[in-house]
Structure 1
Amino acid sequence: MPARRSTRLGGTRTKYTNDPFAAAGLSEDSDEEKSPKKKGKSKVEYEDDLSFSDEEFAAPQEDEEEQESAGNASEDEEEEPPESLMELDGSDEREVDAKSKPRRSRGIRQPLTVDGKIMVDDGFMHSRGMFNPQAHTGKNLNLQVNFGTDERDQLAMIYTRDRWFRGIDSIFPTRDSLNEVESFPTYGYGLTFGSDPEEVKRERTHGWDWYYDADIGGRFRKRQRLERVEEDEVRQIYMPQSMGRHTVLIGPVDNQTVIELEQNEAFNFGEAWEERNSRKMDTNASKKAPKAKQTSTQNRKVREGWIINFGHKIQAMEWAPNQPGLTQYLAVVAPISEEQKRNRTAPLEGKVAPAFRPSAPYPCTLQIWAFRAQKEDSLTKTMDMRFKPRLRLALCTDWGDLRCFAWCPMGRDTREEDEEDVQRNIGLLAGVWGDGVLRVIDVKMPRGADATEYYKVESPVFAAKPPSTLCTCLTWLSPSDIAVGCADGFVAIWNIAHSEISTPTPIPYFYHRVHATYILSVASAHPTHPHLLATVSMDGETRLTSIINPQTDVAEASRMRVTSPQINFSPILQSFVSGEENDFVRLLVIRRFFSSFAISRLPSALSTQAPSSPWHPTVLAGSTSGAVIATNPTRKLIHSKAKQMQQAWFTHEWVPGKEAGSSGVSRFLDGFRIEKAGLLRNLAGETRLVNNRVVITIYEEGTHITSLAWNPNQHCAGWASAGMGCGLVRVEDVAV
């Protein structure tokens, strides 16, 4: 039987490579002795220096003169490495000594400074690895990824956890939790959200020195010119014309009360609940209790609040901050109807898309309504239902529709100049009008007068517009700095205090392109990180940009196919709250901005959300179906596997009126249970499936929730307001 021969080829196996360094004989293995590999498992040994990212940047010193000068140093003096030789990634655990550890630069030579520090160009791109928050990591590591390792940030989150982690605060804030802010330990940084308390105090006091300065502030206030106008002229031209009475159905679902509201009329909807509750108490009391106790139970009310009819869609709405008194002011914008705009033509009409060209100079009115709180011993005040809301100030303009506005949210301590002034200082209000210009108005009103004041704004205290584009959105960075998003994707920042009044168009000190197209919303991470700006563009991109270095310090979130133009910063949660392409509300933590997670789900598409309150973490989101959903994402933020709960504040439905002279019929439903939020992004258990396809319902424009707002003042932190597409505004104290 012939012997069996091996079929293996003899000699050295031919090796093919695409590595140009290996082909040139510069591979790392060529200088090292090859050791035979052992089979089986072996312990992996790492080098002492674990700074892999630093090896790529370190370079040997090849200049002979520098080596000679380094060798001529005196032997009796020990050389200490400079502080600038710390790791490039910002950590201080290990130092890089380029002289003692020369490494191969692999064809890239980095210049060195005199002290041995690697000279990095401003445009040099670098990246650092970080943990994947979606991987199976421990709780401690997950918290470090979310909130960092700085003591200030961790103490701020511990304060948030201890105050708002309880189950009773899982939806709306409770009055007990709001009142305990004075007795609860702050851990040093709890009330300042991780910022230095001295810096926050300095911003509240010295940050407003420019406004009270006789030179800078005097010239700033003289720019504004107001002209008094008659009430009849305002209601005929600057306010939407009345379309008739608005019918409202509200109260218990089995016995709702019908209300007829005229334009600019307010109604206490607590009366609809009080009648039913009194009748129910009378029935129960007559069977089980004596008659003496019946009268005490009749005054008990289930819900209290106001409904105001503005006659047209609510475009924007926000409470005035820095109001420590009992009177609170709500600014509302309801643009005029399309019938009132027919006789005016816009420039470049038919040549440029409406979103990218200035509108016609349509008349518009900013209405400021007054509400009052009750005198109580507790810190948190309830609404005084004996004081009927009234219009206190109307500011008329001819610059187009007021698309968006924002009060300056920075705190301001009251000074003697405010008390000596004849007029009451409400605050600085910045807005973007239809002509694409940013304007700032110094809002004041007479003291001690209850009559409504009507003024036309001829000239604001500040006005600016970038060249060849329009302003689309805005946010405040400080008491004197405003950031604006533009239609061409740029972000501009102006300082309203030091702008030259002689210049017709003030020049921004920051003007950088952040997106490739229209910016829908911009938000600042004030006060913790005021240099960070989050922007949402029309192409679905959401980005976090640092104005210190906008070219390299940029983070992007997952792109949305259907853009949701809603984003704001919650300082309590150290996160941005934004919408998602479907019907989810997502949370974008600053340190893991690239990876978001859902915190709530709405019954329809997201239409608006309330700016986050500085006194509690509850998030309010409105939908196109008329539902307003509330949730507290603190538990979900700290423990990712925790169940997220949510609750409907109310739902609103609107249908056109059949009778002549009617502006429609609205119905409110209240008393919803707390439910578990379904945050799964698959079709399993989907309730809107028709023939295995998700159905999207198109609702009437009057049903939409168009604006939401929290009261930013501490003693009225539980007050919330909601504006509808039919022109109704609902104001209620939702603190439990």
Structure 2
Amino acid sequence: MPSTRRSGRLSGVRKTYILDSAVDEESESNSAEETSKPRRNKGKQPVHEDSSDEEFQVGPMEEEEAEEDFEDEGSLDGDPGADNDADEEDKASLRQRKAPKTPQTKFIKKRPPPSAGVLTGEEAHSRGTWNPFEHVGKSVHLQATFGLDERDILAVLYARDRWSRGFDSTFPARVSLDEAHNLRDYKYGSTFGVEPGGLDRESTRGWDWYYGEGSGERWRKRQRVEPITEAEARRTFMSTPKQGKHTVLVGPANKQLAFTLDQYDVLNYGDAWGVAKDQQITDSAGSKQSQKKRQGWIINLGQRVQATAWAPNQSGLTQYLAVTAPISSEQKALYPDLLKDSAAPAFRPSASYPCALQLWSFKADQGGSITKCIDMSFSPRLRLVLGTNWGDLRRMSWCPIRRAPRDEDDENVDKNIGLLAGIYGDGYVRVIDVKISRDPNKADFYRVNTPIFEANPPSTVCTCVTWLSPSDIAVGCANGFVAVWNIAPPSVKPSTNSLENPLPYFYHPIHSTYVLNIASAYPTYPHLVATTSMDGETRLTSLADHEKDVVDATRMRVGSPHLTYSPWLQSFVSSDENDFVRLLTLRRFFTTTAAARLPSTVSALAPSSFWHPSVLLGCTGGFVLATNPLRRLLHSKEKQWQQTWFSHTWVRGKDARSSGTSRFYDGYRAESISLLRNMMGDRKLINGTMVITIHEEETHVTALSWNPNQSCAGWASAGLGCGLLRIEDLAM
């Protein structure tokens, strides 16, 4: 019976002897000294800095082990004498293939030099990028985040000089807003990296199509409106009032006052605090004035506020705010919905519900500084109501492109406010040329029969809209497509069919399903369009080549309906499923940077302002917060601060159909928050279980907007689910 085969290897720790060549040269006696070291783990040696083929050659220890492995492999036939009969020639050939082991060196991680991102003339262009999480210098970080072009770098340096100070960490400071013309603009700072002459030409020649005779005149006359009475407008297009008056509790936390508001009543909630006798401010003229602790208005619209938007290009003291509130469900029941059972409501046209677009006017104080305060002696007034029969006005956006004043504006009987694009419930996108009477004490009521532009993609509905230029609009659709129209009239008189439904010059699938929101990188790169979809994808696409120039951000489990572009940050601002606010930089769109954290689900995001980088956010819990992410974007280790504007809570009344009661809390201080995810101190974790609070729909913050005009850049509006609209000057 053959004996059991046993391994020829020795058990225990093996001693290794390393011979130093330098020692051999000194004396033969020292060459015999032995140095014992513990056994190294195979495959665990560090990598050399200077990589070469010599790193992978076998040393003396590996040679000895390789010989034993060779002996074991030669005995696989089960012969007990195979260990003694190994082929000596194979051993010799194996030794010849082995080279002396090179000395081991410690791996040192090198930091890329400051000029690592600059390509020399001999190097080829690469579409790759660095890892943004590497520990690199500040200059390299700026280049990796904002690009290598001097226009991008100078624009962000201008933003850093103006808005990276401590008192600008949350709300915009009045001092920073006033010094717009005093600081050095680096040529590209005030234009966000765009050539200054380009924006000037866009504000003048870019609007020639609107003022031109012939085609422009036909285009303006295409809009047809007819006047109606105020009683008819309130009965048909505006929501019916609820039972009873809306009770509002506002004031200091320990001494709040109760006010009752009927529909379209206006409240100066600064009266709840009164005047601080020992608190005075000095204006630019040197006169001292008493200052109220809170100054602002609350308007009761009677129904959930769907959208709000301040009118741009208003350089005077009067400012205009467009507001829309849908009619009640009882009123909608009077209009039959023929497509009710055909598809989901979001993917099909709705019934032709009536809707009203309201335009409210506010007055600015005649102060000496550039940034104006709200004139609390002038009560807000309803100036214009445009009634339509196209379904609810779900989204609206004023044309933000600057328009230089012309003599033709003063020759018209009515005052031109601007172009307003809207997405209606019937699936169409429409553009209305909004004009009001020059009499400040007059309110006009009209029914809009035909807008200046309307279009609808085939077999789908429009979901969101953004402006690319004075004459181009981009629209997201329910089938995942993005359509771009030019609303400027053609030089040749078009046919009747082309006016009814014009064809877009760009219509391609960007997503696989419903497009939730769309935003253009105007004015930095107007051809770059960011979109969010219901499938959780966030994508940046170039309209010049939508198949090649496209990049995706980190996919979310739940799609975000909030998206806006901030030219100060050169980033898109959005939200995620974990109640965080994220920044998507143009140059690093594939990564996200957390900028804020809300106590509940994000429900509203104000379009970014062209005058400051502060971001205004609202959530379902009734909180409205503001933060300035610029310092965190420049230095990732900086503390992030955010401050609550107000918190709102709504409770039901005794009757289910009553207006209920709203309570406001103000006076929150700025707080430094942690943006770590899944931390132990998470407010949503109770005994290790994630808890989500469901708030009343009337408590939600449904609409937010910044004033886009320089003189009133600190003004903000907030619409709530209970129908209240709050306006306040937030500049500190």
Structure 2: runs of 5+ lacking an equivalent: 1-7, 10-63, 75-96, 106-116, 281-286
Q: 1:8 to 1:169 in 2, by over 3 A?
A: closer
How many angstroms apart in 2 are the aligned matches of 1:705 and 1:315? 10
- Tell me how far apart the structure 1 counterparts of residues 355 and 103 of structure 2 sit (CA, whole Å): 77
CA contact (8 A) 2:301 2:724 kept: yes
1:269 maps to which residue? 269
> 1:371 aligns to what SS in structure 2?
strand
Q: Aligned residue for 1:219? A: 218
Partner of 2:394: 403
* Residue pair 1:274, 1:300 contacting (<8 A) in 2 also: no
| Root-mean-square deviation over aligned CA pairs | 2.5
Alpha-carbon distance, 1:41 to partner: 6.0
Give the drift of 1:298. Answer: 9.7
Distance 1:599 1:609 in 2: 13
Query: Sequence identity, in percent?
Result: 57
CA distance in 2, matches of 1:206, 1:661: 53
**Is 1:698 matched with 2:726?**
no
Paired with 1:419 and 1:588, the residues of 2 have a C-alpha distance of 42
Given that 1:576 and 1:590 are in contact with CA atoms closer than 8 Å, whether structure 2 keeps it comes out as: yes
Give the corresponding residue for 2:158. 159
Q: Give 1:657's aligned amino acid.
A: G
Deviation string 1:206-240 (CA, Å, 9 cap, x unpaired) is 10011011022112101100011111111111101
The letter for the 2-side match of 1:40 is: T
Could you tell me whether the CA contact under 8 Å between 2:216 and 2:489 is conserved in 1? no
Distance in 2, matches of 1:513 and 1:92, equals: 38
- Distance in 1 (CA, whole Å) between partners of 2:300 and 2:614 is 27
Equivalent residue of 1:303, what SS?
coil
Out of 447, 461, 471, the residue aligned to residue 480 of structure 1 is 471
Which region of structure 1 is more displaced relative to structure 2, 368-377 or 132-141? 132-141
Q: Which amino acid aligns with 1:132?
A: N
* CA deviation profile, 1:589-639 (whole Å, cap 9, x unmatched): 010001001110001010011000100011000000000011111110100
Q: Which is higher, the Rg of structure 1 or of structure 2?
A: 2
Count of aligned positions: 626
- Hey, what does 1:40 align to over in structure 2? 102
Counterpart of 1:194 in 2: which secondary structure?
coil
Compute the displacement of 1:686 (Å). 1.3
Q: Distance in 1 between matches of 2:253 and 2:477?
A: 46
> Residues of 1 paired with 2:226 and 2:328: CA distance?
24
Instruction: Please say if 1:514 is aligned against 2:506.
Output: no
Q: What are the ranges of 5 or more consecutive residues in structure 1 without an aligned counterpart? A: 14-34, 44-88, 97-125, 286-295
| Structure 1 residue 183: Cα displacement | 1.2
Which residue of structure 1 lines up, in the alignment, with residue 298 of structure 2? 307
Q: State the match for 2:718 in structure 1.
A: 722
| Corresponding residue SS for 1:591 | coil
Instruction: Tell me how far apart the structure 2 counterparts of residues 38 and 427 of structure 1 sit (CA, whole Å).
Output: 81
Match of 1:143, as an amino acid?
L
Shift in alpha-carbon separation, 1:661–1:581, aligned structure 2, 3 A: closer
1:336-392 superposed Cα distances (whole Å, 9 cap, x missing partner): 010101122223211211111100000000000000001111111111111100100
CA distance in 1, matches of 2:168, 2:70: 76
Aligned to 2:405: 414
Could you say what secondary structure the match of 1:180 adopts? helix
1:306-330 superposed Cα distances (whole Å, 9 cap, x missing partner)? 0000000000000000000100000
- Residues 691 and 216 of structure 1, relative CA distance in 2, 3 Å threshold: same
Equivalent of 1:592, from 578, 588, 607? 588
Structure 2 distance, partners of 1:38, 1:511, is 67
Aligned to 1:527: 523
Distance 1:352 1:90 in 2: 54
TM-aligned CA distance change 1:349 to 1:644, over 3 Å: same
Match of 2:605 in 1: 609
- What TM-score do you get using the length of structure 1 for normalisation? 0.82
Letter in 1 for 2:171: F
State the alpha-carbon separation in 1 of the partners of residues 69 and 584 from structure 2. 59
CA–CA separation in structure 2 for the residues paired with 1:446 and 1:223: 19
CA displacement at 1:432 relative to structure 2: 0.6
Q: Deviations over 1:397-451 (max 9, x none)?
A: 0000000010000000000111111110100000010000010000011213421
Aligned to 2:379: 388
Counterpart of 2:250 in structure 1 is: 250
Question: 1-side partners of 2:380 and 2:639: how far apart?
Answer: 40
Alpha-carbon deviation of 1:91? 5.4
Tell me if the contact between 2:305 and 2:702 (Cα under 8 Å) persists in the aligned partners.
yes
Aligned partners of 1:92, 1:477: CA distance in 2, in Å? 35
Where does 1:428-443 land on structure 2 (aligned, <5 Å)?
Answer: 428-443=419-434
Question: Hey, what does 2:30 align to over in structure 1?
Answer: none
Task: Report the TM-score when normalising by structure 2.
Answer: 0.82
Deviations 1:33-78 (A, max 9, x none): xx997742699xxxxxxxxxxxxxxxxxxxxxxxxxxxxxxxxxxx
The one-character-per-residue Cα deviations of 1:85-133 (angstroms, maximum 9, x if unpaired) are xxxx99562267xxxxxxxxxxxxxxxxxxxxxxxxxxxxx98321111
Determine the C-alpha separation between the residues in 1 that align with 2:310 and 2:462.
23
Aligned residues of 1:564 and 1:606 also touching (Cα < 8 A) = no
1:94 aligned residue: 122
Match of 2:132 in 1: 133
Q: Report the AA paired with residue 331 of structure 1.
A: A
The answer to whether the 8 A contact 2:595-2:632 is kept is yes
Q: Pick from 436, 450, 454: which aligns with 1:463? A: 454
Which residue identity does 1:542 align to in structure 2? T
Distance 1:660 1:443 in 2: 38
Distance in 2 (alpha carbons) for counterparts of 1:36 and 1:410: 73
> Where do 1:551-700 residues align within 5 Å?
551-658=547-654, 662-700=658-696
- Give the secondary structure class of the aligned counterpart of 1:40: coil
Q: Check whether the contact 2:533–2:560 (CA below 8 A) recurs between aligned residues.
A: no
Q: 2:82 is matched with which residue?
A: none
Is residue 159 of structure 2 the alignment partner of residue 183 of structure 1?
A: no
